[in-house]
């Protein structure tokens, strides 16, 4: 029997995953679209051509719909930490609360103020001032994401704090270390440019729709050009940062990497294949139907040809002594909490780095009491705990692959789109335009699977190697969790339906511009006659 019902933990996880994934249907478009708007408006200010102002205003309208719904869906997540993850919030709140508070200020003060000016300031501000406002909205939106990602990185790779045995909580001690956490840096850039890719595909796809229907052709071709170039550069950046994140995980989260790469056994450099396809079986701890490309995995992940990548079996073996030390640490911590003896504190300090493994082992201790583990029971507890140290291999492996395959696809699509746009041959290839149009949802899918890789891959921890997930949630009843889950599901589905309805409506209406170019009118007239 767990401290908190496993059902409550799983429902809390599911609810957070659901709200986060819903929220992230809005976020990437906001992050990227606003910089595309800034690029369009820059051309307007530089050239003075009306078409670029119309572009900024039309795409800005779609950005506005997305922005409003994105903010609404993000709010609830911050409260979920308190309601559903109170154990985690108590333990890690000092570390996590600071970036979240700054994010709140960024979102509500900076973004909201400048978004208002961006939408309603066209006739009230000079061209230059309005452009500056648009860039500030772009910066504000991305800085909001930065603080969330700093908070997330502190869970994946804790920096800037330490565990205080006096308060039994993590204590925050370095703002600089928190912000400059290598995982935060790479994750922020990866997420931000993934948003750029999403927005580029969105603008390109809708522009392709107009080109296919021979409507707003000049407007669509101009928009397509900007989005295609924006997209190809962003895709290169997103792949580069994906590589950086993979390498950071290799160095700091080996269980996540082993799951991402389907490695049960430690790799054999340099010939170890990168698996294109496999069906990992978590229960039997093996893969079926493996198809891989030899000599790719080692240089891809380690940037060398001779370093092995530890597999799950080796990581489980390495975890054995850490679990034993962790049990000693948790036991010493408890004794110190009761008697405040210096000897207990010293013993705790000696094994402190393995404390999380001790917490992980409590699940298998008699009555969840680590002190009740006898010498005879210890090997059995360690063996059981070892099986808990790695995430769901099947989900992590495939979520990662879907994201990677889609990134490669985006690279090809944006490269071809840039080439055809620069050669002004887009309309000669309607099939390609159709592919672009139908590709609009794919960057959203890639972003979602990226988050699934990162978060499922972090399991069984909420704070990596410090706090296990199964002792992080609140002690709600399952009925409460199911009720609130249904509420969120209903509410967020309404948001998504509203978003899709408004997006389709305004995209179909198209830009209300004065320069629905002459060629479009001639072609439309020819088609009518």
Copy the structure tokens of residue 177. 């270390």
Of positions 68, 72, 237, 491, contacts other proteins by CB under 8 A: 237
**Residue 185 near other proteins by CB under 8 A:** yes
Taking every pair of Cα atoms in the chain, the longest distance, rounded to a whole number of angstroms, is 95
**Residue 489 near other proteins by CB under 8 A:** no
State which residue, 39 or 148, has the beta carbon closest to other proteins.
39
Of positions 18, 244, 345, 496, contacts other proteins by CB under 8 A: 244
Copy the structure tokens of residue 448. 């979602």
State which residue, 212 or 502, has the beta carbon closest to other proteins.
212
Of positions 90, 169, 247, 307, contacts other proteins by CB under 8 A: 247
Element (H, E) at 93: helix 86-105
Of positions 57, 152, 192, 302, contacts other proteins by CB under 8 A: 192
Of positions 422, 486, 494, 497, contacts other proteins by CB under 8 A: 422
Which part of the chain contacts other proteins (CB under 8 A), choosing from 102-110, 230-238, 338-346, 493-501?
A: 230-238
Instruction: Give CA–CA dist 410/416, Å, rounded.
Output: 10
**Residue 53 near other proteins by CB under 8 A:** no
Of positions 33, 148, 201, 211, contacts other proteins by CB under 8 A: 211
Which part of the chain contacts other proteins (CB under 8 A), choosing from 238-246, 343-351, 451-459, 481-489?
A: 238-246
**Residue 234 near other proteins by CB under 8 A:** yes
State which residue, 126 or 519, has the beta carbon closest to other proteins.
519
**Residue 144 near other proteins by CB under 8 A:** no
**Residue 155 near other proteins by CB under 8 A:** no
How near is the Cβ of 77 to other proteins at its closest, in Å?
24
**Residue 29 near other proteins by CB under 8 A:** no
Instruction: Give CA–CA dist 124/127, Å, rounded.
Output: 9
Copy the structure tokens of residue 228. 């295609």
How near is the Cβ of 469 to other proteins at its closest, in Å?
28
Copy the structure tokens of residue 482. 């199911």
State which residue, 212 or 491, has the beta carbon closest to other proteins.
212
Write 516-521 long-range contacts (CB < 8 A, 24+): 516/215, 516/216, 516/219, 517/216, 517/217, 517/218, 517/219, 519/217, 519/218, 520/214, 520/215, 520/216, 520/217, 520/218
Instruction: Give CA–CA dist 528/271, Å, rounded.
Output: 62
Buried b (16+ CB within 10 A) or exposed e, 454-492: bbbbbbbbbbbbbbbbbbbbbebeeeebeebbeebeeeb
Length of the chain: 529
Helix (H, G, I), strand (E, B) or coil at 220: helix
Of positions 229, 378, 435, 502, contacts other proteins by CB under 8 A: 229
Helix (H, G, I), strand (E, B) or coil at 304: coil
Binding positions for other proteins, 30-49, rule CB under 8 A: 35-36, 38-40, 42-43, 46-47, 49
- CA 252 distance to own-chain centroid: 18
- Using an 8 Å Cβ cutoff, are 281 and 298 in contact? no
How near is the Cβ of 28 to other proteins at its closest, in Å?
15
Torsions phi, psi for 213 (to 5 deg): -90, 0
Using alpha carbons, select from 511, 270, 278, 529 the residue that is nearest to residue 401.
278
**Residue 130 near other proteins by CB under 8 A:** no
Of positions 268, 340, 350, 424, contacts other proteins by CB under 8 A: 424
Using alpha carbons, select from 190, 232, 178, 148 the residue that is nearest to residue 411.
232
**Residue 175 near other proteins by CB under 8 A:** no
Using alpha carbons, select from 225, 220, 222, 198 the residue that is nearest to residue 209.
220
Copy the structure tokens of residue 131. 């452009």
**How many other β-carbons are positioned within 10 Å of the β-carbon of residue 317?**
11
**Residue 243 near other proteins by CB under 8 A:** yes
- Using an 8 Å Cβ cutoff, are 234 and 196 in contact? yes
How near is the Cβ of 426 to other proteins at its closest, in Å?
5
State which residue, 282 or 427, has the beta carbon closest to other proteins.
427
Looking at the DSSP bridge assignments, the partners of residue 163 are 170
State which residue, 38 or 360, has the beta carbon closest to other proteins.
38
Looking at the DSSP bridge assignments, the partners of residue 468 are 461
**Residue 137 near other proteins by CB under 8 A:** no
- Residue window 506-525: x/- pattern of binding to other proteins, with contact defined by CB under 8 A: ------------xx--xx--
- Residue window 395-414: x/- pattern of binding to other proteins, with contact defined by CB under 8 A: ----------------x---
How near is the Cβ of 254 to other proteins at its closest, in Å?
18
Which part of the chain contacts other proteins (CB under 8 A), choosing from 71-79, 120-128, 191-199, 364-372?
A: 191-199
State which residue, 36 or 95, has the beta carbon closest to other proteins.
36
- Using an 8 Å Cβ cutoff, are 497 and 28 in contact? no
**Residue 240 near other proteins by CB under 8 A:** yes
Q: Is residue 209 exposed (0-12), middle (13-18) or buried (19+ Cβ within 10 Å)?
A: buried
Binding positions for other proteins, 283-322, rule CB under 8 A: 303
How many chain residues interact with other proteins (CB under 8 A)?
61
Q: Any idea what DSSP says for residue 49?
A: -
- Using an 8 Å Cβ cutoff, are 235 and 201 in contact? no
**Residue 335 near other proteins by CB under 8 A:** no
Which parts of this chain interact with other proteins (CB under 8 A)? 35-36, 38-40, 42-43, 46-47, 49, 52, 180, 182, 185-186, 188-189, 192-193, 196, 211, 217-218, 220-222, 224-230, 232-234, 236-237, 239-241, 243-244, 247, 303, 411, 415-416, 418-419, 421-422, 424-428, 518-519, 522-523
């Amino acid at each position: 029997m767990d401290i908190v019902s496993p059902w409550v933990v799983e429902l809390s996880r599911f609810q957070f995953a659901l709200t986060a994934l819903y929220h992230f249907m809005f976020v990437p478009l906001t992050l990227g679209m606003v910089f595309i708007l800034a690029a369009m408006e820059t051309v307007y200010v530089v050239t003075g051509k009306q078409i670029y102002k119309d572009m900024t205003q039309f795409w800005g309208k779609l950005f506005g719909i997305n922005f409003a719904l994105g903010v609404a869906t993000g709010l609830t997540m911050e409260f979920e930490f308190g309601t559903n993850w109170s154990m985690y919030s108590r333990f890690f709140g000092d570390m996590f609360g600071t970036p979240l508070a700054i994010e709140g200020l960024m979102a509500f003060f900076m973004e909201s103020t400048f978004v208002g000016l961006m939408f309603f300031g066209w006739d009230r501000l000079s061209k230059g001032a309005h452009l500056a406002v648009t860039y500030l909205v772009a910066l504000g939106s991305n800085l909001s994401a930065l603080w969330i990602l700093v908070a997330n990185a502190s869970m994946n790779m804790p920096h800037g704090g330490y565990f205080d045995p006096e308060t039994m909580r993590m204590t925050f001690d370095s703002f600089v270390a928190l912000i400059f956490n290598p995982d935060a840096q790479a994750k922020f850039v990866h997420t931000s440019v993934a948003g750029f890719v999403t927005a580029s595909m969105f603008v390109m796809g809708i522009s392709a729709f107009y080109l296919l229907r021979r409507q707003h052709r000049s407007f669509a071709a101009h928009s397509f050009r900007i989005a295609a170039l924006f997209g190809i550069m962003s895709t290169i950046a997103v792949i580069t940062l994906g590589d950086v994140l993979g390498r950071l995980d290799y160095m700091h989260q080996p269980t996540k990497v082993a799951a991402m790469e389907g490695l049960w056994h430690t790799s054999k450099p340099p010939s170890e294949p990168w698996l294109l396809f496999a069906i990992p079986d978590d229960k039997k701890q093996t893969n079926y139907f493996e198809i891989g490309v030899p000599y790719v995995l080692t240089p891809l992940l380690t940037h060398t040809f001779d370093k092995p990548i530890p597999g799950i079996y080796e990581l489980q073996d390495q975890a054995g002594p850490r679990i034993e030390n962790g049990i000693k640490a948790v036991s010493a911590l408890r004794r110190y909490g009761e008697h405040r003896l210096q000897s207990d504190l010293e013993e705790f300090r000696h094994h402190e780095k393995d404390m999380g493994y001790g917490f992980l082992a409590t699940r298998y201790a008699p009555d969840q009491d680590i002190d009740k583990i006898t010498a005879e029971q210890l090997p059995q507890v360690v063996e059981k705990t070892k099986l808990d140290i790695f995430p769901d291999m099947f989900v992590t492996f495939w979520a990662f692959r879907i994201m990677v395959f889609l990134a490669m696809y985006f690279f090809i699509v944006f490269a071809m789109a840039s080439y055809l746009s620069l050669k002004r041959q887009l309309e000669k290839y309607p099939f390609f335009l159709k592919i672009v149009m139908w590709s609009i949802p794919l960057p959203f899918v890639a972003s979602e699977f990226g988050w699934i890789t990162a978060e499922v891959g972090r399991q069984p921890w909420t704070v990596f190697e410090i706090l296990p997930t199964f002792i992080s949630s609140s002690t709600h009843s399952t009925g409460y969790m199911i009720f609130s889950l249904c509420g969120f599901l209903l509410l967020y589905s309404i948001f998504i339906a509203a978003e899709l309805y408004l997006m389709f409506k305004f995209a179909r209406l198209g830009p209300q511009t004065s320069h629905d170019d002459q060629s479009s009118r001639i072609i439309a007239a020819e088609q009518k006659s």
